[in-house]
């Protein structure tokens, strides 16, 4: 058994190690991207170990937490308080985001591509040349990859493979106008049509000259296939997904929400059974303690894992030289998101913790530091859950019965940072496209963004960049082009880290406040009994 003093010393050493890992990892990844990509393996190992712990931790701690309630009816009060708190704080976060995005207006002046309705051009194979003039953003490498060139008068388009100041080469030509003929898609080339028993290329023939062309944003690969997502389908997925049809499948896929429901039910039954279930409760209690100890052990290697994660991710983005230009291109947007996250994390949540939770925000945040830095490094609320529980229970003294219910639920449905980001991103895209599409963003649409951003955050899993995909719901609800997501893709991995940190901070603050409210409510309940 460790003495409390040596435990504090060890904890301090780990903390210093993690801070060093981040401080060294950022310049390392930025300046030596190739080397940093190699050490990402350290981060991967650490991440896998964290994920390994999540499922047994959620299940055992929840079962123990519920059985520890004494009276199962108390769950009702924790339950509604938690839900109200989570919904209210997510709403506040979205509101901050919407206010800022309306003041800063980061999307104004940003163009999604460029339109040359009267420009003459010539075509040689897959290369198009402007008869005169240059692209507005001539020489910009921003157009390769996620952009398409459209020949408006011919109704054909192609993904830009290479761009010069006066022309562009597409990977191959495509058209939406191919009728009902069955198409065979190829992985990385033009599609084929089945005609007279033979496969013929579906690549349209293109005339050698014409007038009117434009550069458009393409639908990013990660979003493709998700276009069908709507408000209703997402809500349905969340509700249906709560009940597992096979708990082993849910465990294997790390689906926390259905596991919460199962553990909650099992815990409730064990409490009702009383003495005859004591053996089972004891087993779960011992397992829960063992898993918390595993978390402690894992923390010893956390600095190495975090170094690998931070340096490796920046290295993967091409180092500073690779991603700083991308960041500058959408600098105002990124700043709006980070500013909003900052206000929510440093003003709103601490104020709630202080007034409702009666706790010192600084002290509470210090106790959560390891979890918060881990959230920043992994960009995953779920993978951070073991550390969030450790921080809330061991460092901040919140009881297991509160933490075990509030935190796993929070890691899956309470995402203040993600909700704020979704609202800012949707408004950014709206501002970019407003002049192109001739639309105006009305107050009613902002209300829709408010509601859908909240839902999109609930629907987003606690894994890296999940919020980017659920953005589709928000954009579709207000009829904005989902291609707009491509504009913010390049910096998303970085913003994801900031929003995940706020997500985890929001859950932790929730646990502190619910604990205090429950504690205060108890004497009254007893008195009433």
Q: Which residue has the tokens 């109704």?
A: 155
Of 214 and 497, which has the nearer Cβ to ligand ASP? 497
Of 317 and 517, which has the nearer Cβ to ligand ASP? 317
Of 378 and 445, which has the nearer Cβ to ligand ASP? 378
Q: What is the nearest approach in angstroms of ligand ASP to the Cβ of residue 253?
A: 15
Return all residues near 221 (Cβ < 8 A) that are at least 6 apart: none
Q: What is the nearest approach in angstroms of ligand ASP to the Cβ of residue 387?
A: 13
Q: Which residue has the tokens 């809500």?
A: 235
Q: What is the nearest approach in angstroms of ligand ASP to the Cβ of residue 413?
A: 11
- Could you give the dihedral angle defined by the CA atoms of residues 443, 446, 447 and 453, in that order, rounded to the nearest 10 degrees? 180
Decide: residue 43, CB within 10 A, 0-12 exposed, 13-18 middle, 19+ buried. Answer: buried
Cα 120 from chain centroid (whole Å): 43
Q: What is the nearest approach in angstroms of ligand ASP to the Cβ of residue 384?
A: 8
Of 89 and 271, which has the nearer Cβ to ligand ASP? 89
Q: What is the nearest approach in angstroms of ligand ASP to the Cβ of residue 349?
A: 15
Q: Name the residue whose CB lies closest to ligand ASP.
A: 467
What gap in Å lies between CA 501 and CA 387, rounded to an integer? Answer: 12
Q: What is the nearest approach in angstroms of ligand ASP to the Cβ of residue 430?
A: 20
Of 126 and 222, which has the nearer Cβ to ligand ASP? 222
Beta-strand ranges (E) seen in 125-249 are: 127-130, 147-151, 156-164, 167-170, 183-184, 192-195, 198-201, 209-217
Return all residues near 176 (Cβ < 8 A) that are at least 6 apart: 155
**What is the side-by-side order of every strand in the sheet holding 192-195?**
183-184, 192-195, 198-201
Q: What is the nearest approach in angstroms of ligand ASP to the Cβ of residue 382?
A: 6
Of 281 and 419, which has the nearer Cβ to ligand ASP? 419
Of 60 and 380, which has the nearer Cβ to ligand ASP? 380
Separation in Å, CA 69 to CA 200, 264, 267, 283: 68, 12, 10, 17
What gap in Å lies between CA 255 and CA 240, rounded to an integer? Answer: 12
Of 439 and 451, which has the nearer Cβ to ligand ASP? 451
Side-chain-side CA neighbours of residue 219 (13 Å): 11
Q: What is the nearest approach in angstroms of ligand ASP to the Cβ of residue 303?
A: 21
Q: What is the nearest approach in angstroms of ligand ASP to the Cβ of residue 209?
A: 46
Contact positions vs ligand ASP (CB under 6 A): 379-381, 415, 418, 460, 462-467, 496, 499-500, 503
Of 446 and 500, which has the nearer Cβ to ligand ASP? 500
Inter-residue contact 310 to 302 (CB < 8 Å)? no
Decide: residue 318, CB within 10 A, 0-12 exposed, 13-18 middle, 19+ buried. Answer: middle
């Amino acid at each position: 058994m460790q003495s409390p003093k040596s435990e504090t010393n060890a904890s301090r050493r780990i903390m210093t190690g993690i801070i060093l890992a981040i401080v060294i990892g950022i310049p390392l990844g930025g300046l030596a991207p190739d080397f940093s990509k190699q050490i990402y393996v350290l981060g991967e190992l650490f991440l896998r170990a964290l994920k390994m712990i999540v499922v047994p931790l959620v299940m055992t701690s929840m079962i123990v937490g519920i059985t520890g309630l004494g009276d199962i009816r108390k769950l009702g009060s924790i339950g509604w308080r938690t839900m109200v708190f989570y919904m209210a704080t997510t709403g506040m976060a979205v509101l901050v985001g919407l206010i800022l995005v309306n003041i800063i207006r980061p999307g104004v002046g940003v163009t999604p591509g460029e339109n040359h309705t009267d420009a003459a051009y010539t075509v040689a194979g897959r290369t198009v040349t402007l008869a005169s003039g240059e692209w507005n953003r001539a020489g910009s490498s921003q157009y390769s990859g996620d952009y398409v060139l459209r020949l408006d008068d011919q109704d054909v388009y192609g993904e830009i493979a290479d761009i010069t100041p006066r022309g562009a080469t597409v990977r191959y030509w495509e058209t939406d106008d191919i009728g009902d003929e069955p198409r065979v898609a190829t992985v990385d080339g033009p599609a084929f049509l089945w005609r007279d028993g033979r496969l013929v290329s579906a690549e349209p023939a293109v005339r050698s000259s014409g007038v009117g062309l434009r550069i458009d944003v393409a639908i990013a690969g990660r979003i493709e296939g998700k276009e069908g997502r709507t408000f209703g389908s997402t809500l349905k997925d969340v509700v249906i997904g709560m009940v597992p049809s096979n708990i082993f499948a849910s465990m294997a896929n790390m689906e926390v929400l259905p596991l919460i429901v199962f553990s909650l039910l099992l815990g409730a039954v064990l409490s009702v059974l009383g003495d005859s279930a004591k053996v089972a409760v004891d087993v779960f209690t011992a397992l829960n303690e063992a898993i918390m100890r595993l978390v402690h052990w894992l923390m010893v290697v956390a600095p190495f894992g975090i170094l690998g994660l931070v340096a490796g991710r920046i290295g993967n983005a091409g180092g500073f030289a690779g991603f700083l230009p991308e960041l500058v291109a959408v600098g105002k947007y990124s700043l709006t998101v980070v500013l909003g996250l900052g206000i929510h994390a440093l003003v709103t949540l601490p104020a709630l913790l202080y007034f409702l939770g009666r706790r010192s925000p600084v002290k509470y945040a210090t106790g959560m530091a390891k979890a918060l830095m881990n959230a920043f490094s992994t960009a995953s609320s779920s993978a951070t859950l073991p550390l969030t529980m450790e921080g809330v229970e061991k460092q901040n003294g919140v009881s297991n019965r509160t933490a075990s219910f509030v935190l796993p639920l929070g890691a899956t449905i309470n995402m203040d940072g993600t909700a704020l980001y979704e609202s800012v991103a949707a408004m950014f895209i709206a501002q970019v496209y407003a002049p192109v599409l001739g639309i105006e963003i009305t107050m009613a649409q902002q209300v829709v963004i408010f509601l859908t951003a909240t839902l999109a955050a609930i629907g987003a899993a606690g894994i890296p960049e999940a919020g980017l995909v659920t953005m589709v719901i928000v954009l579709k609800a207000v009829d904005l082009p989902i291609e707009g997501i491509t504009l913010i893709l390049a910096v998303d991995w970085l913003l994801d880290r900031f929003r995940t940190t706020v997500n985890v901070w929001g859950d932790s603050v929730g646990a502190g406040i619910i604990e205090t409210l429950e504690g205060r409510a108890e004497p009254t309940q007893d008195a009433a009994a």
